[in-house]
Amino acid sequence: MIYNFSAGPAALPAPVLRQAAEELPDWHGTGMSVMEMSHRGRDFIGIAESAEASLRDLMDVPDDYRVLFLQGGATGQFAAIPMNLAQADGAADYVITGMWGKRAHGEGSKYLDRVNVAAIASPSTYVPPETHWQLTPDADYVHITLNETIQGVRFDHVPSVAAPIVADVSSMILSEPINVSDFGVLYAGAQKNIGPSGLVVVIVREDLLGRARASTPQVWNWLENAKSGSMINTPPTFGWYIAGLVFRWVADQGGVPAMAETNRRKAAKLYDAIDQSGFYANPVAPASRSLMNVPFTVAQPDLESVFVAEARSAGLVNLEGHRAVGGMRASIYNAMPEAGVDALIDFMKEFESRHG
């Protein structure tokens, strides 16, 4: 028994993996693996539509939003967003609260003449207050990262701006309620709270479709994908299927509000353990702390590799911080049971008692 704190690809719910293993060679008596099904056949269309319906239900997605299942990850969407929402002479505002926002901005800069950093948190330990944002009056969109996976910085409310908000929700989708209609576009790489890597979900308001510039690659053209049921080309069928199983598992747990209650409790006890220790530290402003990704350091930096190695031996794996920032990081997505967080806290106390 291990607990996997990987930031992504990340732990999946055990019942989902059991079902996937059972069904892998022969899905529902068809004699075929889901991997072997034509994406245009009745069986896979059923799997795909049912996954979308579950997600819409879980997130209460309004009827005037389309849900797309695409390839290329969130990093692909960093390019697809400006292409789909603005012409080359358009403008966009980026609020940067960590490394993914920075990368979204960097990629966006390749496709827009005017890409403005409306605000940047430096160091990435807080969300800059909206009153200080310097917004472009005619921006085609404002990009934010609702939860920064690397620095563990989270927006605790949706900002109020005139332009449509485009939000990267990769590491927090389905972990707490999101009011979809506050946003123009939500997008999420699957490999944290949805399923395996290789799938990115895009939720886009219909009135924002049809703005794509002519040079948008067909596989990322949101309108064309909305029209074709995300089947401009062969979609990542197996990932889409696993996503459907995860969505049903979330529903079985009581849906997103129930997940959020557990997630808040998990995060609170981990931050408490860090704050009360004097040995561990998390640098993020309390109001901006992530519920999903908890980076932390130890008083003596040379103990970090010892911590990671001893934790691994204790069955607590993938606790290394991102190579860009170092330290440790515990990603505690939906699939991480509360018992895993308890085990980590126990280990931290025990480690401190020996090394502190």
Contact 328, 308 (CB under 8 A): yes
Q: Is 110 a catalytic residue?
A: no
Evaluate whether 38 touches 44 at the Cβ level (below 8 Å). yes
Query: What does each C-alpha distance from 229 to 123, 168, 223 come to in angstroms?
Result: 41, 22, 10
Output 106 or 123, the one with its CB closest to its own copies: 106
Binding of residue 2 to its own copies (CB under 8 A): yes
Q: How far is the CB of 335 from its own copies (least distance, A)?
A: 9
Interface with its own copies in residues 127-146 (CB under 8 A): none
Site for its own copies in 186-245 (CB under 8 A): 189, 191, 195-199, 214-215, 217-220, 232-239, 242
CA distance 269 to 133: 33
Q: Known catalytic residue: 100?
A: yes
CA 316 to CA 180: how far, in whole Å? 35
Nearer to its own copies, 106 or 301 (CB): 106
Q: Answer yes or no whether residue 321 interacts with its own copies by CB under 8 A.
A: no
Strand extents, DSSP E, the chain? 3-4, 65-70, 91-96, 114-120, 141-145, 147-148, 153-154, 165-168, 185-189, 200-205, 280-281, 293-298, 316-317, 328-331
Stretch that binds its own copies, among 60-68, 260-268, 284-292, 316-324 (CB under 8 A): 316-324
The number of residues that bind its own copies (CB under 8 A) is 67
Contacting residue, 52, 107, 176, 352, with its own copies by CB under 8 A? 107
Q: 9 preceded by cis ω (within 30°)? A: yes
Residues in contact with its own copies by CB under 8 A are 1-2, 4, 6-12, 14, 17-18, 20-22, 24-25, 30-33, 35-41, 71-76, 78-80, 107, 110-111, 189, 191, 195-199, 214-215, 217-220, 232-239, 242, 315, 317-318, 323
Residues assigned a catalytic role: 100, 168, 192
